[in-house]
Amino acid sequence: MRRESRLLPERGVAQLAREAAVNQHVRAITPELLADIEAGGWRVLVFEYVEGRHADYRPGSRDLDTVLDTLAAVGEVALPEDAEVMWFEGRWSDYAVVPQRLTSSPVRRCCTPI
C-alpha cells in the first residue's frame, strides 16, 4: 500500500496519479491496483499482495535471468499516448550530483505507445 500526504510536494502526488493511471497497462509485470481511495487529504493506492523476495544480483545468481527478462518486458510495455510518463532523467535528477549528465544519452526509449 502506498500513501501520499497532502503535505508532500506535488511531484509525489503526480507520481501516485500516474501509477494509478498506468496500472491497467502494466499488469503483465506489476501487481493489480485493487483500490484508489482519496479521503481527508490522503490518497491511498491498494495493490494485490504478491509473494516474493528481493532479487539476488550477485554474479552467478539464478535471479539474474529473471531480472533481465523483467527489464526487457518493461521496455515493451504499451502505454496510451496520453500517459504522462516521467523519463529517467526527470525521475532521478533530484538524486544526481550533476543532473545534466542524465540527459546526455540520445536514446529516450521507455515504453511503446499504443
For residue 104, what pLDDT band results from cuts at 50, 70 and 90? low
Its pTM surpasses 0.75: no
Q: What is the pLDDT of residue 108?
A: 46
What is the DSSP code string of 38-74?
EETTEEEEEE----------STT-TTHHHHHHHHHHH
